[in-house]
Amino acid sequence: MNKNAKIYIAGHNGMVGSAVKRNLEAKGFTNIVTRSSSELNLIDGVAVANFFAAEKPEFVVLAAAKVGGIVANNTYRAQFIYENLMIQNHVIHQSYLNGVKKLLFLGSSCIYPRNATQPMREDELLTGVLESTNEPYAIAKIAGIKMCEAYHAQYGCNFISIMPTNLYGQNDNYDLEKSHVLPALIRKMVLGKCLMDNDIDGLRADLNKLPIEGVDGSFALETIMLMLEKYGITTVDDKVSITLWGTGSPMREFLHVDDMADSSVFLLLNYDAPDTLPSHVNAGCGEDLSIKDLSEIVRKTVDYKGEIVWDTSKPDGTPRKLLDVSKLKSLGWSPSVSIQEGIRRVVETY
């Protein structure tokens, strides 16, 4: 890849897309094309076709997607399958029509069956029933993988896919309704610590940066407290507690987004679409921990000393999600950021 090759990053403002952009720039790539969602609606097929015809990118990183945690996935099921399918269909097809040299499609580890053998190898795909809470999103991502494979088989397109584990890091989503587990944990404990320290200014500053259902720091303290209580952040008789979903027993693997970006760029530079299936590559650290253990790392890092309550009436989701990353490792890539160091960086930034 020439350092001046034209690279289009779809979703460059998102957590993964922005990390890929930083990684490419750090490696000296200078001709990166971006469009915000307000500039280019990837659900609009005509707009996408016009963009590709005008820009003619040589390489494409498809990081744009509608994403969210277990609540969002389970609530906005139609939006998750429709929007993700449309984004993928338009970008992948236009990449073919406009002679893109290589496309990298970013998926998710939720593509694997709920009860897949652990750790999950690439060939576990389509061997069982999916986790019901995120099935629409998973089906869309599976379709993206299969599109890349089909376009390679029929047209010889060098379209590849990477399937990351749970990601976290810079530019994560801290919306308590729609965020994934780790950013939700961090924000809840930061807000809980503000309550413990009677740091009302800190509480208001947090809400000014990211209002909760429209409630920002300018609202009356009583209104703010009611909103926090709705999301399980409460104080009773000077005792602060935060409520988390499920039992805390599910096992999850986490990869810092800077490592994810580095593995993505590594594949873009070193991995071509194979004729044998499965073609996609898992990306993770190869180690997992329980949500309860994760919460204790966050608690220690944030210095939250309040109570943690587990709401066992809420779903746990998939019991375990650990990727087999031997394929990526055999290609010559390994992660560099530990979960403890990664959380420290995130909390410090937050």
Angle among Cα 320, 321, 324 to the nearest 5 degrees reads 125
How far is the C-alpha of 154 from the C-alpha of 312, rounded, in Å? Answer: 48
Is residue 94 within 8 Å of residue 116, measured between CB atoms? Answer: no
pLDDT of residue 220: 98
CA distance 74 to 67: 11
Where do we find the tokens 């209002």? 211
In this prediction, residue 37 carries a pLDDT of 95
Task: Kindly compute the dihedral angle of the four CA atoms of residues 311, 165, 142, 20, in this order, to the nearest 10 degrees.
Answer: 130
* R_g over Cα of the chain: 21
pLDDT along the chain (350 residues), means of 10: 97 96 98 97 98 98 89 89 98 98 96 94 97 93 98 98 94 85 94 96 97 97 97 92 94 96 98 97 96 97 96 86 96 96 94
Q: Which candidate in 8, 96, 112, 137 is catalytic? A: 137
pLDDT computed for residue 319 by the predictor: 83
- How distant, in Å, are the alpha carbons of 14, 111, 196, 234, 295 from that of 306? 32, 36, 7, 10, 12
**Catalytic-residue membership of 168:** no
